[in-house]
Structure 1
Amino acid sequence: MSSRINTILIVGGTTGIGEQLARRFYGLGKKVIITGRRQSGLAALAQELNGLETRQFDITNFATLPTHAAGILKDFPNLDAVLINAGIQKSFSFFDPTSIAPGEVEREMAANLIAPTLLVQAFAPHLLSLATKGTPATLFVTSSTLGLIPMGLWPTYSVTKAGVHALALTLRQQITFAGEEAKKKFNVVEIVPPYVDTGLDKEHRDATNAAQGEHAFPPMPLQEYIDQFFKALEETEKDGSLKKEIGVGTGALAIQTWRDSFGKVYEQWGMAT
Structure 2
Amino acid sequence: MTSRIKTVLVIGGTTGIGEQLVRRFHALGKKVIVTGRNQASLTALAQELGGLETRQFDITDFSTLPSHAADILKAFPNLDTVLINAGIQKSFSFFDPSSIAPGEVEREIAANLTAPTLLIQAFAPHLLSLATKGTPATLFVTSSTLGLIPMGLWPNYSATKAGIHALALTLRQQIAFAGEEAKKNFNVVEIVPPYVDTGLDKEHREATNAAQGEHAFPPMPLQEYIDQFFKTLEDVEADGSLRKEIGVGTGALAVQTWRDSFGEVYKQFGMAT
- Asked if these proteins are the same fold (TM beyond 0.5), I'd say yes
**C-alpha distance in 2 between matches for 1:255 and 1:218:** 21
1:192: which partner in 2?
192
1:104: which partner in 2?
104
2:27: which partner in 1?
27
Could you tell which deviates more after superposition, 148-157 or 230-239?
Answer: 230-239
Structure 2 letter corresponding to 1:232: T
2:232: which partner in 1?
232
Structure 2 letter corresponding to 1:2: T
| 1:229 CA drift (Å) | 0.1
**C-alpha distance in 1 between matches for 2:189 and 2:25:** 16
2:79: which partner in 1?
79
1:117: which partner in 2?
117
TM-score normalised by structure 1 residue count: 0.99
| 1:239 CA drift (Å) | 6.0
**C-alpha distance in 2 between matches for 1:163 and 1:252:** 18
2:269: which partner in 1?
269
Structure 1 letter corresponding to 2:83: L
The answer on whether the counterparts of 2:184 and 2:241 sit within 8 Å (CA) in structure 1 is no
| 1:238 CA drift (Å) | 5.2
CA RMSD of aligned residues (A): 0.7
TM-score normalised by structure 2 residue count: 0.99
**C-alpha distance in 2 between matches for 1:217 and 1:238:** 35
- What are the Cα deviations for residues 48-102 of structure 1, in whole angstroms up to 9, with x where unaligned? 0010000000000000010000000000000000000000000000000000000
State the SS of the aligned residue for 2:177.
helix
1:147: which partner in 2?
147
Runs of 4 or more consecutive aligned structure 1 residues displaced over 6 Å after TM superposition: none
1:15: which partner in 2?
15
- What are the Cα deviations for residues 157-215 of structure 1, in whole angstroms up to 9, with x where unaligned? 00000000000000000001111000000000000000000110001000000000000
Aligned length: 273
- What are the Cα deviations for residues 15-61 of structure 1, in whole angstroms up to 9, with x where unaligned? 00000000000000000000000100000000000100000000000
**C-alpha distance in 2 between matches for 1:23 and 1:149:** 29
5 Å-filtered alignment, 1:134-173, equals 134-173=134-173
Identity of aligned residues (%): 86
| 1:240 CA drift (Å) | 5.1
The answer on whether the counterparts of 2:236 and 2:242 sit within 8 Å (CA) in structure 1 is yes
CA distance 1:238–1:133, change in 2 (3 Å) = closer
Structure 2 letter corresponding to 1:124: A
